[in-house]
A = this chain, B = another copy of it.
């Protein structure tokens, strides 16, 4: 895309000469000093003639004046800015100039007077008079104030009028000058506080072509509940944008700085997870999501039409990752989609989410794995706010939440200890029963009080509440070698030592009502010898939404899926 200054100046010159060509030359009539018969004029006649002449002169003078005024008027109307604004042709990669694009993130007052060229979205626009437009221009996290003011021979009134007509979210290319701002710019969403851009050229790269107005504006969508509530008693009450409206218009919603930050933090969780595990000699696998049988727990599996038969969507990589352990990969992980056909319409369930899974052969004791998990999460939770400090601050603006507290050593308590804590707190709970959501929250609160940690590993769950492939405790047959991790009192990880003995596995399957013949490949993996191993499955979106206090797991999913939502 080019809007070269030379071309613009040339066009401006052409405009002026065109205006000049409309200038009318007024003709003054020459009057002879004789009568029509050739005799000289009498004095009286001379007087009359002079009078007529004077009349005509005045007339001509008036005409000239009118013409000059007309010329001046027309000259003023010429759009000398025509080449400095407008829609660019559709970018089909017509040319590659290599021109440098500036970044709003780098704008500041010390660059006063510098020419800049950049692309941005119009976030807000206001036009206090016909001669001026104020825009805020956003590029991901960064937002700068810009002004376009009518100016003789530089910015035409047509340019200003056109700029004022651009709606928010229009994607524009901007040329202008950075100007230091004498006072800090107040707007909450503007991030460049000590400088603004004086626009000289403005072109549309991509316009808004929706049928009606956008359902909401991005600068409205970043307001915290508290801001919206506080505004209700003012003369400019803000509208609440509901979660469904946001999700129905997710592309727009994702443009908020909050969402840009949330998904960078989500990426950060995966990066740190990988970083830690790869240093610990894990490798990442890609296990199939299409399964031949409805396994693990039949009820909650999606069925797929598979050519002339059926397939089922994996509800976790559980079976495949254990088979990979039997195949001697030793330490494996996977980050990928998992599918749950559960008709759960809650703020913490989705039908598809990102499973973060690991599985590891151990030497002696599954606590080798449990300890690795505790260190892994301590690493993630301590590094994340450091590496993504800006993103955390941005999210907290909209979703205020206390910092997530994790000591160097993640506390580990047994299920029984958690039960005892609950009972001491007056909660009634039966033996060998799993916690309810409410009890889990209470455990989280009690742990927080006692250990100053928002994160806890709970070990030794009752065997009866765990899947068939969970290894029973060697002493107490009612208990298992299994664990959950809670974040702010909600489960984000579930794991265990697995049964690696085919005989015991068959027995456990029978007890769980699963036919061994339904899972031949899985059983065979253990019949050909398998090391003792343990692992865990983690819900990525749960980690993110609980850490950031987003209130609903859907806010941590790019395009969430639940029983009622398959779009966008």
Contact = CB atoms under 8 A, between A and B. Distances in A.
Interface of A: 1, 90-99, 101, 119, 121, 139-140, 169-171, 205-210, 214, 249-252, 254-255, 259-260, 263-264, 266-267, 270-271, 274, 278, 283-292, 302-307, 311, 313, 320, 323-324, 326-330, 335-337, 339, 341, 343, 351-352, 354, 363-368, 471-474, 481, 497, 500-504, 520-522, 524-532, 540, 557-561, 563, 566-568
B502 A209 contact: yes
Nearest to A472: B92
Nearest to A500: B206
B251 A481 contact: no
B354 A286 contact: yes
Contacts of A336: 336-337
Given A206-B529, A208-B527, A254-B327, A521 B290 contact: no
Q: Which 9 A-B pairs have the closest CB atoms?
A: A521-B568, A292-B566, A254-B327, A96-B365, A92-B474, A91-B532, A93-B365, A267-B283, A206-B529
A208 B326 CA distance: 12
Given A214-B528, A252-B327, A288-B560, 9 more contacts: A96-B367, A250-B521, A251-B521, A255-B328, A264-B283, A287-B559, A288-B559, A289-B339, A289-B352
Contacts of A330: 140
17 contacts: A92-B471, A93-B497, A93-B532, A119-B531, A121-B328, A171-B531, A206-B532, A209-B502, A209-B503, A210-B527, A251-B521, A251-B528, A252-B528, A267-B283, A287-B559, A288-B559, A291-B566
B92 A473 contact: yes
Contact of A97 (B255, B364, B474, B497): B364
Contacts of A139: 328
Contacts of A497: 92-93
A529 B121 contact: yes
A207 B530 CA distance: 8
Contact of A561 (B91, B290, B323): B290
B328 A558 contact: no
A540 B352 CA distance: 23
Contact of A306 (B98, B205, B473, B566): B566
Nearest to A319: B568
A393 B472 CA distance: 43
Nearest to A323: B251
Contacts of A119: 363, 531
Contact of A530 (B171, B474, B566): B171
A365 B92 CA distance: 8
Contact of A337 (B264, B289, B304, B481): B289
Contacts of A266: 286
A352 B95 contact: no
Given A323-B251, A337-B336, A559-B320, A528 B208 contact: yes
A7 to B, nearest CB: 17
B286 A289 contact: no
B290 A267 contact: no
Contacts of A503: 209
A471 B93 contact: yes
B289 A289 contact: yes
B529 A561 contact: no
A290 B339 contact: yes
Nearest to A474: B92
A271 B567 CA distance: 31
A457 to B, nearest CB: 15
A418 to B, nearest CB: 20
A563 B337 CA distance: 22
Contacts of A271: 278, 284
Contacts of A169: 528-529
Contacts of A291: 566
B329 A290 contact: no
Q: Give the most central of A251, A528, A529: most B CB within 10 Å.
A: A529
B1 A329 contact: no
A351 B292 CA distance: 13
A292 B567 contact: yes
